[in-house]
Structure 1
Amino acid sequence: MRREMNGVTKGRFEFLARKPIQQKNIWCWRDVKKSKTKMFSNNDEAVINKKLPKELLLRIFSFLDVVTLCRCAQVSRAWNVLALDGSNWQRIDLFDFQRDIEGRVVENISKRCGGFLRKLSLRGCLGVGDNALRIFAQNCRNIEVLNLNGCTKITDTTCTSLSKFCSKLRHLDLASCTSITNLSLKALSEGCPLLEQLNISWCDQVTKDGIQALVRGCGGLKALFLKGCTQLEDEALKYIGAHCPELVTLNLQTCLQITDDGLITICRGCHKLQSLCASGCSNITDAILNALGQNCPRLRILEVARCSQLTDVGFTTLAKNCHELEKMDLEECVQITDSTLIQLSIYCPRLQVLSLSHCELITDDGIRHLGNGACAHDRLEVIELDNCPLITDASLEHLKSCHSLERIELYDCQQITRAGIKRLRTHLPNIKVHAYFAPVTPPPSVGGSRQRFCRCCIIL
């Protein structure tokens, strides 16, 4: 039985991808006008084709995704011509077909789309390897956005092909492509000077030498995702800080060797920084928060979960200088107290998402200040207070005025009660409350030796 992919069988999808674009099938509006009578015979012409100009139909088709185009191609000969017009195949996302996509499909699509294709996602397509992407790179030289996240078969050879043929590439996602090494970054540096966004998360063979080569040729980088690149040291960040003044987003999650020295260089060299993730970088201290406050006033997102050396002193400096903060992840920043919340309530009126999970020194008084702060009434959407043992129902009372609040996390807050949550819901009926209350322990059985099972065991 043929497997169907959102209404299009695998065989049909491959056939349509394989069907080449002839020059006569590459239409512009002028070409369509000239070819009206040739394209639509009397037997083939439906009401919609009579009512709508062919150039308008082509324009409509340009907004359809790949699945819908494949469906339309099966309606009639006329629609087949329009649907398979190369200009409609500028953006293709094959994530939904990831189990079925093999190298030959990518090769055929590249031959069909040619220079039209601007954006392609092969995220999770495990069957695609270097050879298919070499042919793709040769055929699709105008590609600007390419997502190869999780394509574990690809190696440095793919990046060499992209470097050779795809000089217009701007966004490249190589996350979890674990065979990628410094050679890939060197190749991209030499052949893709317009690169603005690169994701090499979990490519743990990359070292400072690869980063050095990359930034020397791609100085216009705006977003760099290095999550899980465990070999990176401060030296790599110094290269980034020296060569990437346009950097807006940097993710260093679980880059365990990073210290204050490297991140301070980033702050001093990348004044446009808006998003920084340093979660799991347990060596960093308040010096980073001071450097961010002094150099990066546009900062909107800061994620420093599990950075246990950060304190109220550093967050005070940060809050006083970074007034555009919208999202903060402070999970397991175990030294912070209500003092940090007071500063955020005063200086950060745009705060929307705040995680305080496992911040065990936070009390109701800190939440009171936050609930009365500038962000409370119209901005705050998510607050995570799970595993904050000093939080009580009083905190929920303080949050009633947060009219935009959509979600609150209260797992393992032992002093929170069902009654407190119920009162909060009366003021914020649409809020999602995530909490857990242990079931009441049943009284011990009196007499009798009959074996008993809990209800869930009976269901199972």
Structure 2
Amino acid sequence: MASVVPLKFTAKLICIQTLLDLSGDGDKEAAQRMLRQLQTGCFTAVSCGLLRRLVERYPGKVTNNVLSALASTHLRELKLKKCKSVSFAGLKNVLENCPLVTKLDLSECDQFSQPEVFHIASFLRPGITALSLENCLTVDNSVVQSILLYMKTLQHLNLSGCSKLTDNVFLLNENLQLQRETFGQMTQECYDCALISVDVSCTTLTSTAVRHLATLTGPTLKHVNISWTGADTLALLYLSGYGRPAILDLTLSDPDTVLDFPLELSLLELKNTLNKLKLGMLRKERAKNENKNLQKVKISWKDNLKSSMLEELAPLWPNVNYISLIDCESLTSQSLVTLATKCKQIQTLTLQGVTFIQDFAMIPFINNGCLESLNLAECRITDHTLTRMSKHKMEKMRELDLSWCDDTSSVGLDRLFGKTSDTLRKLSIRQLAANDKTLSLIASNFHLLTSLNMSSVDGITDDAVVNLVESIRTLEHVDFSWNLGVSNRSISALLKNCQRLQRADLAGLKTITSEPFLPLISNLRQWRRCQALLRLKLHERSVAAASADAGTSSDEEYTDIYMPHRSTVYGTDLTYLNLEFCDQVNDNHLAEICIVCRRESLTIFNYYGELVKPELFIGQGRQWYSNYIPAHDD
């Protein structure tokens, strides 16, 4: 039996829908009345939650007035992602009235992409430590440099997807930064910025920008995301504390060093430049002491990252706790053993696509006892690794991905999942040799899972899936796609028991129909009766118009008129539903569900992978949808 949704949750939904009527077709008077009540400041205990939900699901509906009413004085993190209707005046008002704000998310808000905005913001709220401008297409060097100059307390900066940035974006003082790079590291107090983490992924920046960033921030820098950029392997050396002279001393002076051609050309060009400038060379020993605060390393180069380079860099990363080496196929098991030996504090390890590693490469990582997140997708590990993991308590493990580990068997999986864990939150067993017993062990031992990927797992049945979702009610994201043994019964149990469920990927389930999704419409039987009455009324009108006889009206007999709404006890938080290649699901039912759920709060993809458009009537003569009525009241 599904649990009853708390009254507070239902009240929050009603408040959200009422506020949305400010720009919709609903009761604008009631919406204005609620807005005035929220502006009194007497409802700050709930207004932050309302603002967060509005921004997450309806960012286009957030205006200056709504923001002013919901932003309480206790607000610490202001998220305005995609809120294009908020102007600088609205942002300025919040910064003035919310003294505790330290984190600011302006992702995809191009209206704030002027240097003056952040100059003024730094005076209004001088304690901002985190700023996100992700996917702001008009952010350029001048905007970022204004941020770096005036926001002195900034520690976390997200510039992912800002396509107008160039390599000079972090070059604030060319002479000073060149001096630091050439003659050694100055004291930490002399650096211009105290940035701890910077994300410049999905931009056109190269290793030159990384070099400028390293000389700008110095030893405070711990996390850098340079995925999907123009940076090459030189960036790793810069982040490890090597300046250009030290890189030349390390590589070109060593006759045994094997370099890929682009890297060798880059280094020779640097050597010529430095010879002309007659700059001194940093000593290798000094470089090894640089940037020991580095904590996060992400590398995804299929061919460029060699085992020898990883073994050379590993001693420079004693405090690194996050390593991602996705698709670094050239790495050997021995290089990973070296990494684990030198970096003993690794908590997050991603080796997805490092195909040819063997079981012994994982032994030191497991023995270190620090792992909290482990991704071994597509690796050729065997049951030996799973057995060793099972012998070590999984008390710290929060995320585990074993997808496509084809050399494992159900025996190893059963040993691994036979241990109880209250910390594991995300688990992926995609395309593994799991069975009903495996799912039973997961259901018994991992009661607090929030994300489960069990796509393409052959041999599982409805009984196992139903037992799973009835035991783990904390699930928020699931992927049950391409499991031929999963039917309507499993999906109904999922939506009924997992009230926190937000995303469901059910692609390729050939036996499911519309039946488990229609209860998303509250009181479906009453809604179908109302549809029948409305069809009758439309027929009466057409007959009367054809005979030119007004006749008698049956309006007084319509006592069952009912306005459908989304269920408050069934799939209440579901926002994403993928039904690609689900042959028997009726698209008309999906369109009806979308319109009842209102205002794009539920995104559904149909058989062809197309976004389902919300519609209430279809076809000529405005015919209503199917007369499907469930066999029992939900």
TM-score (normalised: structure 2): 0.51
Write the mapping of 1:147-162 to structure 2, written as runs, cut at 5 A.
147-161=158-172
Which amino acid is the alignment partner of residue 138 of structure 1?
Answer: L
CA displacement at 1:320 relative to structure 2 = 2.2
d(CA) in 2 for partners of 1:347, 1:198: 35
1:311 maps onto 2:343 in alignment = no
* Structure 1 runs, 4 residues or longer, greater than 6 Å off: 457-460
C-alpha spacing 1:143/1:440, structure 2 compared with 1 (3 Å): closer
1:112 Cα deviation from its structure 2 partner: 4.8
Q: Which amino acid aligns with 2:421?
A: P
Deviation at residue 270 of structure 1 after TM alignment: 2.0
Q: How does 1:219-234 map to 2 (within 5 A)?
A: 219-227=292-300, 231-234=304-307
Whether the 8 Å CA contact 1:339–1:366 is kept in 2: the answer is no
Structure-1 separation of matches of 2:512 and 2:427: 32
Classify 1:440/1:337 alpha carbon distance in 2 versus 1 (closer, same or farther; 3 Å): closer
Check 1:61–1:420 CA distance in 2 against 1; reply closer, same or farther (3 A cut): closer
Compared CA separation, residues 128 and 419, structure 1 to 2 (3 A): closer
Q: Separation in 2 of the partners of 1:310 and 1:233?
A: 21
**Is the CA contact 2:107–2:132 (under 8 Å) kept in the aligned structure 1?**
yes
Counterpart contact for 2:484–2:510, Cα < 8 Å: no
Kindly tell me the number of residue pairs found equivalent between the two proteins: 378
In structure 2, what is the equivalent of residue 395 of structure 1? Answer: 464
State the alpha-carbon separation in 2 of the partners of residues 431 and 62 from structure 1.
Answer: 24
Q: How far is the alpha carbon of 1:257 from its aligned partner?
A: 3.4
Question: Is the contact made by 2:148 and 2:193 (CA closer than 8 Å) also made in structure 1?
Answer: no
Larger CA Rg, structure 1 vs 2: 2
CA shift digits 1:99-152 (9 cap, x unpaired): 334454566447756965533222112222224333443333443221111122
Out of 107, 118, 126, the residue aligned to residue 95 of structure 1 is 107
Question: Closer, same or farther in 2 for the Cα pair 1:145/1:229, shift >3 Å?
Answer: farther
Change (3 A) 1:355 1:221: same
Q: Which residue of 1 aligns with 2:237?
A: 212
Structure 1 alignment gaps of length 5 or more = 1-5, 7-46, 49-58, 75-79, 442-453
2:104 maps to amino acid:
I
Residue 132 in structure 1 maps to residue 205 in structure 2: no
1:17-166 to 2 correspondences below 5 Å: 60=73, 63=76, 65=78, 70-71=89-90, 83=96, 91-97=103-109, 99-105=110-116, 108-109=119-120, 112=123, 116-161=127-172, 164=177, 166=192
Say which SS state the counterpart of residue 157 (structure 2) adopts.
strand
Unpaired runs of 5+ in structure 2? Answer: 1-19, 21-39, 42-71, 81-85, 178-190, 242-289, 514-584, 589-617, 621-634
Which of 476, 485, 507 is the aligned partner of 1:415? Answer: 485
Provide the identity percentage. Answer: 19
The C-alpha deviation readout for 1:131-175, integer Å capped at 9, x for no partner, is 433344333344322111112222331233389563311111111
Alpha carbons 1:277, 1:304 under 8 Å: kept: yes
For residues 354-379 of structure 1, the C-alpha deviation after alignment (integer angstroms, 9 at most, x for no partner) is 111112x222233333334xx33x33
Partner of 1:336: 408
Q: Over residues 250-297 of structure 1, what are the superposed CA-to-partner deviations in whole Å (9 max), with x where a residue is unaligned? A: 2222334333233322211222211112222223332332231123x1
CA displacement 1:327-379 (0-9 Å, x = unmatched): 111111122211232222234523332111112x222233333334xx33x33
Q: 2:342 maps to what in 1?
A: 269
Secondary structure in 1 aligned to 2:408? coil
Structure 1 residue aligned with 2:435, among 363, 387, 394? 363
Query: Contact 1:275–1:299 at 8 Å: present in 2 too?
Result: yes
1:188 deviates by 0.4
**Secondary structure of the structure 2 residue equivalent to 1:272:** coil
- Counterpart CA distance in 2 for 1:430 and 1:92 is 30
> Which residue of 1 is the match for residue 391 of structure 2?
320
Between the aligned partners of 1:367 and 1:183, the Cα distance in structure 2 is 48
